[in-house]
Structure 1
Amino acid sequence: MRRRSLVLPFAAAGILLSACAFMPLATPSTDSPFLKRMQAAEQSHTLHLPEVDLHYLQLGQGPPVVMLPGGGSWAYDFYDLASRLATNHTVYILDTPGNGYTVPAPSTDLNRLYTLEGINAVLLEFMRAKKLEQADFIGNSWGGGFGLYFAERHPERVRRYVSLAGTGLNDPATFLWRLRHVPLLGEALVNLSAYRPLLAWGLRPMYLPGAPSTEDIDEMYRPYIRPWNLHSQLLIYRNVDWAATRQGLTALKAPTLVIWGEQDDVLDARRNEALWRTLHPAARVVVLPGAGHLPHQGNLDEVFQLIQTFLVEEIRGAW
């Protein structure tokens, strides 16, 4: 019995160490058919900054909109929504540091870069480089949290702010996400998430009420498994303190629209709805029945109409 009782701990330790050691080979960026199309259309660009080579897409003409995809995601995720907004806006979709085809400089201190202050500095450098005095900001998940922090720190730079299931209120994530704080176990979970079937499994509820296509899964998978991107997922999760954005809500001056999917499996929609209504009553909060963590995927038409109306309307206090 004693020998048998030792088998499970050793087996579990072996699985854990194997998962920690697992690291898929990075797929070259040229393997992305979508990125090739964007390059051919001259919509894909790279801005060379001291900390990172920042990849972004630019499309349309008009008042500027900056879009920040969520953690583990990249510009591909926002392209359908951005294409609609681009009929009367210049839209910039950024691969925030640690995601997509943005690459950190070899000399960059990643523990400093992958913080709220580090990413805030990159966003400010981007706006200065593009000579943007002010822009509307739209962010999903971590991107929503980064946009919120930027809006709090630089109210003169953000005209309007849209959160699509954005972090930032310091609401606890689901149990599986919180396990990333545990040494070794967090590394194992992040590495295992780079196994394509597991990534696809994790994406499916996010796309509710629809489902991700094979193209969606492939395009999300290709940049996600780059070693520096996988490493960043852990560092951002452990380094970013969302209590700072929650405390900074009093500094949020931009009119705010919050859109959540009722079936969000990452952050609790109803709890975050209540938090927004309590902590920042001026925000308009919309919860979409049946939608998941990526409401712009499962409910593209409705999300576009909400955002388009919000961005172009006069400020009347009706929101």
Structure 2
Amino acid sequence: MTSKPAFRRLVALAAVLAGVLAVLIVPAAYGEPPASDYRSQYLSRVESHYVDTGLARFHYTRMGTGSPVVLVAGRGLWGYSWRDVIPALAAEHTVYAVDLPSQGFTELHRGDFAYDLPAMSQALVSFLDAVGLRRTALVGHSWGGAWSLYFAERHPERVERLVLLDSPGLDAEKASVTPLFTTPLVGELATNLTTRAFYADNIRGTFQNKHLVTDEVIDEFYAPFSRPANRAGFLSLWRNLDYRLTDAGLEQVTAPTLVLWGGADSWLPASQAGRLAERIPDATAAVLPGCGHTVHEDCPAQVNPLLAAFLR
């Protein structure tokens, strides 16, 4: 006999799969959506760069002067995610926003990239070495926070300060949509047939202040996501990220750490903020009411002063 909690999980999974298949059935009839031809307007307004390594041609932006801060965006996003954060930090820091593999405009040189925590950490090593940063502050959001956390565990001597925004790192609750992407065939459908409209619905779901999710925001994010290589990497990350690794190494983080979380995060429960901070030796946590999963975009007026004060 199926227990009530197990039954509820099955019902929730069935509802998610049914909803996604309903959205995807029409695109599936016409084949995979073409890559967007939208040209980023944001990149025309910032200092955009590329640096080549043996692993990848990394795309990044850079602004400001002072001690370095490296920003790592979350799942399915890229450096545009930090558009409100960068000016707030650039007065006192040299701010780098890097696209790691599967994000933005970075292109891998190797086809055997693993898309797991060790590989993403090594990608960060490759980028930092290429731009000459032996030690830096790291700010990561969502998956980008998990990659930054694992990097800080493995390379504590290279991290001055660490900020984790709504970042998985505990062997604990996962986003409710996880089964959608980890289920064979369904994950491929959901990723490869994602239209701009379906992608936009997912982005809105990470905000409480949904009026901030403008057409420009969707276009800036969806265009690089629509590239086949980025879609493939996105799906691989869903299936390969193992937070048992970050959970086991939390005590190895030596950098002062700030854990920030949106109190209205519908992807990961805000209760993880305090639990994560308790496990990191020199960490504090703050939960911001009325803010969603993409907390720095949803609530920049609350987040930016906290970031600036901590990184100062």
TM-score (norm 2): 0.87
RMSD after superposition: 2.2
- When residues 148 and 83 of structure 1 are mapped into structure 2, their CA distance, relative to the original with a 3 A threshold, is same
The residue number in structure 1 matching 2:295 is 295
Q: Measure, in 2, the Cα distance between the counterparts of 1:57 and 1:229.
A: 19
Q: How does 1:271-310 map to 2 (within 5 A)?
A: 272-280=272-280, 282-310=282-310
TM-superposed CA distance for 1:102, in Å, is 0.7
TM-superposed CA distance for 1:60, in Å, is 0.5
Identity across matched positions, percent: 37
TM-superposed CA distance for 1:204, in Å, is 1.2
Is the Cα contact below 8 Å between 2:166 and 2:261 reproduced in 1?
yes
Q: Measure, in 1, the Cα distance between the counterparts of 2:57 and 2:141.
A: 22
The yes-or-no answer on 1:32 pairing with 2:40 is: yes
The residue number in structure 2 matching 1:248 is 249
Structure of higher CA gyration radius: 1
Q: Measure, in 1, the Cα distance between the counterparts of 2:151 and 2:201.
A: 32
Q: Measure, in 2, the Cα distance between the counterparts of 1:18 and 1:207.
A: 26
Q: How does 1:1-319 map to 2 (within 5 A)?
A: 19=28, 22-28=31-37, 31-38=39-46, 43-105=47-109, 107-110=110-113, 112=114, 114-192=115-193, 194-211=194-211, 212-270=213-271, 272-280=272-280, 282-312=282-312
TM-superposed CA distance for 1:307, in Å, is 0.9
SS in 2 for 1:161: strand
TM-superposed CA distance for 1:55, in Å, is 0.5
- When residues 37 and 286 of structure 1 are mapped into structure 2, their CA distance, relative to the original with a 3 A threshold, is same
TM-superposed CA distance for 1:142, in Å, is 0.3
Is the Cα contact below 8 Å between 2:254 and 2:281 reproduced in 1?
no
| Structure 2: gaps spanning 5 or more residues | 1-20
Q: Measure, in 2, the Cα distance between the counterparts of 1:248 and 1:21.
A: 46
Q: Measure, in 1, the Cα distance between the counterparts of 2:258 and 2:29.
A: 40
Is the Cα contact below 8 Å between 2:117 and 2:147 reproduced in 1?
yes
TM-superposed CA distance for 1:205, in Å, is 2.8
Is the Cα contact below 8 Å between 1:19 and 1:189 reproduced in 2?
no
TM-score (norm 1): 0.85
TM-superposed CA distance for 1:24, in Å, is 2.1
Q: Measure, in 1, the Cα distance between the counterparts of 2:162 and 2:52.
A: 26
| Structure 1: gaps spanning 5 or more residues | 1-11, 313-319
TM-superposed CA distance for 1:22, in Å, is 3.9
Q: List structure 1 segments (4+ residues) > 3 angstroms apart after TM superposition.
A: 15-22
TM-superposed CA distance for 1:80, in Å, is 1.4
- When residues 173 and 245 of structure 1 are mapped into structure 2, their CA distance, relative to the original with a 3 A threshold, is same
- When residues 37 and 311 of structure 1 are mapped into structure 2, their CA distance, relative to the original with a 3 A threshold, is closer
SS in 2 for 1:65: strand
For 1:248, give the aligned amino acid: G
TM-superposed CA distance for 1:237, in Å, is 1.1
Aligned length: 291
| 1:77-100 residue CA offsets vs partner (Å, 9 max, x unmatched) | 112101110011000000111111
TM-superposed CA distance for 1:266, in Å, is 1.3
TM-superposed CA distance for 1:275, in Å, is 2.0
Q: Measure, in 1, the Cα distance between the counterparts of 2:29 and 2:146.
A: 28
